[in-house]
Structure 1
Amino acid sequence: MNRIPRLVVAGTGSGAGKTTLTVGLMAAFQNRGLQVQGYKVGPDYIDPSYHTAVTGRPSRNLDSWMLTHDAMRECFWRGAAGADLAIIEGVMGLYDGKSPIGDRGSTAEVAKLLDAPVLLVLNAHAMARSAAAVVLGFQKLDPAVRIAGVIANKVGSKGHFEIVKAAIEQECGIPCLGYLERDDALTMPERHLGLIPAVERGELSGLFQRLAGKVSETVDLDRLWELASAAPSLQPPGHALFPREQAAPRVRIGVARDSAFNFYYPENLELLAAHGAQLVYFSPLADERLPDDLDGLYIGGGFPEEFAAQLSAQQALIEAIRRAHAAGMPIYAECGGLMFLCRSLTDRQGREYPMVGLVPANVRMQGRLAALGYREAVAAIDHLLLPEGEAAKGHEFHYSVLTPEIDPYPWAWRLSGRSGETPEGYADGNLLASYTHLHFGSNLRIVHSLLARCEQFRARRQKRE
């Protein structure tokens, strides 16, 4: 299938209302019987959790900085299989990306690479004809970005919308396809890490359906479907990331997955499986032991601080992880996984909880972000994932700070970001733990190296048995 109906929902800036509209559109089209596939531009993982809850399909990140253009397109195609409509939620403002003087990593770049029409969400509060000036500026900055329509958000009334609509359509020559009124009851809750467990418990289902109802009333869904369906045919990409045929399983990797640990790029897991890993899921919150016959562990990001007491009480599982490490099992942990493997975790209330203790450091939550943004990670030493000097790409997003308990401390990475170069992570033998969420598609050697270490451990384990 070369023609995939698709639509990019972009904002004039952060806070314009693109997440609220995106979720409403997904739910409204689902209610019409369509299979909707959700995507999020950039490395965010809270918004994709909304998409997944509404559509029942894993939402995927489309990132043109961490991945090559062909690899990003391949992620789009894999996600779209079996879907009737692809809705891609943008990040920040339409043109905001890695650099203020280029569109690398921006919603605009992704829209161009996928030849997708853009629905621009405008915060029209206290605006009339000035709304047209804003939209016109977005059109003029890069005419290659096809802004196909506008949604006026946070209008005061239907009459206010009609004023904004008349101005935009006269001056910009594109349709204003609907609106959402200012309504606190229809606003997505303030973003924080604890939202994802709430989404998984179904606590936002009522809001999603209210949004679907409102969007169905005030947005021209038929016209949006026409715009999405008119998107040009896409040439399927080559095999930039995934092999033509999935390899037979040769190692078993335990993957922590529950309300405390649930941030994984779908492609990271799929790449491991495609190259020969049988993934076995377990819950650090509920399981008393690790799955049988494991050759490696992958503990992803999440919110151990939300469940610190419960995790600390899981002594049987903690001892099993310690024994696996002592036996030489490869263990890779990201962000929340790193926090779980440290000696202790102190929550926002100042309560300290013992953790697994494999990483000789303590972590403490704080009220403000400790790190946020893209990172290029260069291996500081030869370790579990990469040889010294080789690089991968990812991002950081965390509120905790880490204090090493030993000196020297075996840092895993040299990170490059807006604040310069900093050491990060912990690497010792077959253990690697880091705050950085790596995208394995940024360097496939990560996959091959991790699987090779797991195979070596499996061979030693079977010889002992």
Structure 2
Amino acid sequence: MPDCPAQFISAPASGQGKTTITAGLARHHRRQGRRVRVFKTGPDFLDPMILERASGAPVLSLDLWMVGESACRELLAQAAQQADLILIEGVMGLYDGTPSSADLAAAFGVPVVAVISAKAMAQTFGAVAFGLAHYRADVPVRGVFANRVGSTRHARMLEEALPPELKWMGSIASTADIELPDRHLGLHQAAEIADLDRRLERAADALASTPLAELPPTVRFLPSSSSSKSAAPLPRLLDGAHIAVARDAAFSFIYPANLALLDALGARVSFFSPLADEPVPDAATALYLPGGYPELHAAALARHARAAASVRAHAAAGKPVFAECGGMLYLLDSLTTTDGTTTPMLGLLPGQVRMQTRFAALGMQQLDGPLGTLTGHTFHYSHVSTPLTPVLHATRAQSEAAGEAVYRCGSIVATYMHSYWPSNPAFTAALFHGNAF
């Protein structure tokens, strides 16, 4: 049976240290020889990079809206058959968003441990914990873990403030050699943190003697009848396709489930690095430019003529190009950073982009086209000015208000929206055949 110890790591808000604690816990159990599968709630690219390094296994997304409850159930059931422990990291605060981390935990009966940053807090810690545990009766809050504790006495004070029905799961001090660095879109990418493994090892050491490190209760993850049907082999809609994917520090926002879908649809996938001035493979029939941080590497991207020429040649040959967020910025005429520096980009899409210090858009969105609905999300700190007329607008998950524009220019399709391709394999295949719209 698909039974597996499982634990949901959540918090009262963002910035409490969920990823640090989840990653340290994953590394601890991996060191014990256990097979650990970690999932991340909601649309996220950065936290999963850290969690994958910690656990040694790809980290997939769980979201009741973007992924769908049935597909989430199937992913958990598959993991339960392969793993000794399942960890799910929440997003934002436990009850934030629609659907929320609480909705996900309740849907699958996964016990929740709330990580609360206790810095500058004493007995109010107990009130926050009480509120999290009792806000909804259907959410199985099991215990509380205190992060950024100042001393042993401080930890004892926090523990004594807890209501008796909540388990004290331990504490960890605030130390610079464990905390993970962040920037405007979230944590730094795993490959950018030179001492990441040392930080993970220290986090695992600090957690090893706490009650949090004990194996959590076993949860039964049964696939639904609909998810079992969806697990049937997919039609080979991309047989014969060779899709080149840009992948490096500038273009790294890629769902593992998206790449797995391309493979399941029959495509050959290869990777190249514009930052290393690598060209698009000549044999590629389609090109995917994912999101990432082109603004941090604009000068290098502008310098690397071989990579740029190969992207231009691919587009000039009429081969499909699908660009999301940062990938779209790379195709524009120019990019201006917050300090006012303007750098020329590829000039394949008319227009300019300007980075800003506050986010311009955030939230779940979907594309509705001839082949149905493709779900996804948007999150960016930039604004594009272009004379192009959108061929389509995404819609927001919680309303019918217009979302991100989708632009088409020759064989190029570009948008700020990050798509979750397993939500519509036929739509995805059409994007790479160049006939989605």
TM-score, length of structure 1 as denominator length: 0.85
Mark the CA change 1:351 to 1:332 in structure 2 (over 3 Å): closer, same or farther.
Answer: same
Q: Work out whether residues 42 and 61 of structure 2, in 8 Å CA contact, stay in contact via their aligned partners in 1.
A: yes
| CA drift at 1:56 | 2.3
Cα distance in 1 for residues equivalent to 2:193 and 2:161: 43
- Aligned partner of 2:169 among 177, 196, 205: 177
For 1:120, give the aligned amino acid: A
1:276 counterpart residue number? 266
1:303-342 to 2 correspondences below 5 Å: 303-342=293-332
1:5 counterpart residue number? 5
2:151 counterpart residue number? 157
1:351 counterpart residue number? 341
1:393 counterpart residue number? 375
Q: Work out whether residues 254 and 291 of structure 1, in 8 Å CA contact, stay in contact via their aligned partners in 2.
A: yes
- Partner secondary structure for residue 21 of structure 1: helix
Mark the CA change 1:81 to 1:437 in structure 2 (over 3 Å): closer, same or farther.
Answer: farther
1:101 counterpart residue number? none
Are 1:48 and 2:48 an aligned pair?
Answer: yes
For 1:428, give the aligned amino acid: C
TM-score, length of structure 2 as denominator length: 0.90
For 1:444, give the aligned amino acid: P
Q: Work out whether residues 360 and 381 of structure 2, in 8 Å CA contact, stay in contact via their aligned partners in 1.
A: yes
Are 1:244 and 2:233 an aligned pair?
Answer: yes
- Deviation track 1:10-34 (CA, whole Å, cap 9, x = no partner) reads 1022233222211221222222222
| CA drift at 1:300 | 0.7
2:420 counterpart residue number? 439
Q: Work out whether residues 132 and 172 of structure 1, in 8 Å CA contact, stay in contact via their aligned partners in 2.
A: no
- Aligned partner of 1:233 among 197, 207, 220: 220
For 1:278, give the aligned amino acid: R
Identical pairs, percent: 37
| CA drift at 1:7 | 0.8
Q: Work out whether residues 331 and 345 of structure 2, in 8 Å CA contact, stay in contact via their aligned partners in 1.
A: yes
Cα distance in 2 for residues equivalent to 1:200 and 1:56: 17
Q: Work out whether residues 250 and 294 of structure 2, in 8 Å CA contact, stay in contact via their aligned partners in 1.
A: yes
| CA drift at 1:186 | 3.3
Q: Work out whether residues 370 and 401 of structure 1, in 8 Å CA contact, stay in contact via their aligned partners in 2.
A: yes
| CA drift at 1:164 | 2.5
Q: Work out whether residues 411 and 423 of structure 1, in 8 Å CA contact, stay in contact via their aligned partners in 2.
A: no
2:198 counterpart residue number? 206
Are 1:220 and 2:211 an aligned pair?
Answer: yes
For 1:146, give the aligned amino acid: P
Mark the CA change 1:344 to 1:26 in structure 2 (over 3 Å): closer, same or farther.
Answer: same
1:27-176 to 2 correspondences below 5 Å: 27-78=27-78, 82-98=82-98, 104=99, 106-168=100-162, 171-176=163-168
Mark the CA change 1:216 to 1:324 in structure 2 (over 3 Å): closer, same or farther.
Answer: same
Q: Work out whether residues 290 and 317 of structure 1, in 8 Å CA contact, stay in contact via their aligned partners in 2.
A: yes
Cα distance in 1 for residues equivalent to 2:257 and 2:148: 36
| CA drift at 1:189 | 2.0
For 1:251, give the aligned amino acid: A
Q: Which consecutive residues of structure 2, in runs of 5 or more, have no partner in the other structure?
A: none
Q: Which consecutive residues of structure 1, in runs of 5 or more, have no partner in the other structure?
A: 99-103, 379-385, 456-465
- Partner secondary structure for residue 430 of structure 2: helix
Cα distance in 1 for residues equivalent to 2:76 and 2:329: 32
Aligned length: 432
Cα distance in 2 for residues equivalent to 1:292 and 1:82: 39
Mark the CA change 1:278 to 1:78 in structure 2 (over 3 Å): closer, same or farther.
Answer: farther
Further displaced range: 122-131 or 32-41? 122-131
Mark the CA change 1:347 to 1:37 in structure 2 (over 3 Å): closer, same or farther.
Answer: same
Q: Work out whether residues 23 and 54 of structure 2, in 8 Å CA contact, stay in contact via their aligned partners in 1.
A: yes
